[in-house]
Amino acid sequence: MADYRKMWEDLGMDMENHDNLCQVLPTAVGDVFLSQENRPEAMDFWDLVISEVHGIRPAELIEAQKEGRKVFGTFCVYVPDEVVIAANGIVTGLCGGSQFWVPDGEKVLPKSTCPLVKASVGARLGRTCPFFRIADMYVGETTCDGKKKAYEILGEDVPMYIMDVPQMKREKDILKWKDEIAEFAKKVEEFTGVTITAENLAKSIHIINEKRKALARVYNCRKSKCLPISGRDALLMTQISFFDDPERCAQMCNRLADELEERIKNGVSVVSADTKRILVTGTPLAVPNWKLHNIIETSGGAVVCEEMCTGTRYFENLVDETKTTLDEQFMALSERYMKTNCACFTPNTGRIDDILRLAKEYQVDGVIDCSLKFCCLYDTEKYAVSRALKDAGIPVLSLETDYEDADAGQLRTRIGAFIEMLS
């Protein structure tokens, strides 16, 4: 492993505490990923990235900054990467997925805040994540009350820009989101000093579409009854895609998809035929949150799809590439992003349609609907989700959890019983 200590020190990180984090990660990676049998060889890329998750990519970002490029940290799949990339900027995901950061978040936030928000704030204020140190500007959005208020606190410590996501999906809301994108573009131009043109935006739209297609190709392989990749590995790929360079991400996902397609042709599966196929839906699973997948996949199930922001919501739907003026392109972006079905919208029946469609496409035996604690939006939608699934004759298990391991035993019992129920 390369020595990144100097880089971390230069970033003003809390070295002592960060060492504690670095110590637990290899064990977690070993337990969750490396212990699996018959993994696709192309996972070597993600194994390497995760083994030095606070080293390799942060070092690249710092190099880019030295060349004058700006790094934008984001928290939501509604923030359009295309706009940033058009202005030669770089986007990195910032969502915190570890209990490690929660106590630092709780110093300033109420305990009854969702762990993702607490961990994200904790990672910044506790100075224990290089990505949170590197980002020149944070781009927030109004997709939940917890984040809205947390951004006010983060904004005291780092330049913060907020995009106002509509709460409904009427024609005027799509127009409003288009205006928000256009305004964001102005902000990005100002911050980077690069003018966004129809040409560079068309190019970045293409880059991100290619990334979406590559992710979709891997997911497509998971629809096969002959399952060529575990849910854990697919989740890791998706999680890392929020941090990686989009063109390399597409290249690596396509390389993985090549291998998976070959595996399907040759009948190579990572699980036995009686393994129950599970669709998980709900709140995002930010890296390194692998708890749910790990329990499901060590209890007789395999996760074949995630209807989540760290899943299909990230890559489904492409931006129309035929538009030639900025105005039309902003509209095309708005139309694509507004197709994403987040629980912050009302009504949000599109998400139910997505879940029913995905359950069919991925040939699932059951659905696990899991939300992070204190996420009122996804928690409330469980009622409608479970009713729709029951009406469709698809078994569903609703769960709520956080980043702590304290409830792992209870989750294992519920998930184990659910999988037994499917047999």
Partner 1 sequence: MGIEYFVGIDIGSTCAKTVVMDKEGQILHRLLRPTGWSSVETAASIQTELETLGVEADRSTVVSTGYGRAAVGFAAKNITEITCHAKGACHIHGTDDLTVIDIGGQDTKLIAVEHGQVTDFVMNDKCSAGTGRFLEVMANTLSVTPEELSNMARSGGGVSISSMCTVFAESEVTGLIGKGEQRENIAFAVIDSIVKKVASQAGRLKMDQKVCLTGGLCGFDYLRERLSSVLHCEVCADPDGRYAGAAGAALSARDSYLKTLGK
Query: Looking at beta carbons only, is 222 or 414 nearer to partner 1?
Result: 414
Which of the ranges 7-15, 69-77, 261-269, 411-419 carries the binding residues for partner 1, by CB under 8 A? 411-419
Backbone φ and ψ for 279, nearest 5 degrees, come out as -100, 130
**Cα dist. 415→276, 298, 393, 400, 408 in Å?**
11, 10, 19, 12, 10
One of 1, 2, 273, 406 touching partner 1 (CB under 8 A): 406
CB of residue 261 to partner 1, shortest distance in Å:
36
Q: Is 405 in the site for partner 1 (CB under 8 A)?
A: no
One of 16, 80, 400, 403 touching partner 1 (CB under 8 A): 400
CB of residue 374 to partner 1, shortest distance in Å:
13
Nearest of 241, 355, 357, 223 to residue 302 by alpha carbon: 223
CB of residue 106 to partner 1, shortest distance in Å:
19
CB of residue 417 to partner 1, shortest distance in Å:
3
Which of the ranges 24-32, 68-76, 155-163, 403-411 carries the binding residues for partner 1, by CB under 8 A? 403-411
Distance CA 61, CA 57 (A): 6
Which of the ranges 100-108, 123-131, 178-186, 406-414 carries the binding residues for partner 1, by CB under 8 A? 406-414
Read off the tokens for 21: 């984090």
One of 213, 298, 318, 416 touching partner 1 (CB under 8 A): 416
Instruction: With CB under 8 A as the rule, give the number of residues binding partner 1.
Output: 12
Contact 208, 85 (CB under 8 A): yes
Distance CA 371, CA 178 (A): 30
* DSSP one-letter code for 277: E
CB of residue 418 to partner 1, shortest distance in Å:
8
Query: Looking at beta carbons only, is 125 or 279 nearer to partner 1?
Result: 279
Q: Is 417 in the site for partner 1 (CB under 8 A)?
A: yes
Q: Is 262 in the site for partner 1 (CB under 8 A)?
A: no
One of 14, 173, 258, 407 touching partner 1 (CB under 8 A): 407
Q: In what order do the strands lie in the sheet with 301-307?
A: 301-307, 276-282, 366-372, 396-401
Query: Looking at beta carbons only, is 171 or 391 nearer to partner 1?
Result: 391
Query: Looking at beta carbons only, is 53 or 364 nearer to partner 1?
Result: 364
**Where in 175-204 is the site for partner 1 (CB under 8 A)?**
none
What DSSP letter does each residue of 292-359 carry, written as one string? HHHHHHTTTEEEEEEESTTTHHHHSS---TT--SHHHHHHHHHHHHTTS--TTSSS-HHHHHHHHHHH
Q: CB 388: neighbour CB atoms within 10 A? A: 18
Q: Is 413 in the site for partner 1 (CB under 8 A)?
A: yes
**Where in 338-397 is the site for partner 1 (CB under 8 A)?**
395
Strands 137-141 and 160-163: parallel
Distance CA 107, CA 94 (A): 19
Contact 259, 41 (CB under 8 A): yes
Which of the ranges 2-10, 28-36, 177-185, 414-422 carries the binding residues for partner 1, by CB under 8 A? 414-422
Query: Looking at beta carbons only, is 104 or 400 nearer to partner 1?
Result: 400
> What angle do the packed helices 198-221 and 246-265 form, to 10 degrees?
30
Task: Show the binding pattern over residues 89-128: x = contacts partner 1 (CB under 8 A), - = does not.
Answer: ----------------------------------------
Q: How far is CA 325 from the centre of its chain?
A: 30
Query: Looking at beta carbons only, is 20 or 413 nearer to partner 1?
Result: 413
Residues that bind partner 1 (CB under 8 A): 395, 400, 406-407, 409-410, 413-414, 416-417, 420-421
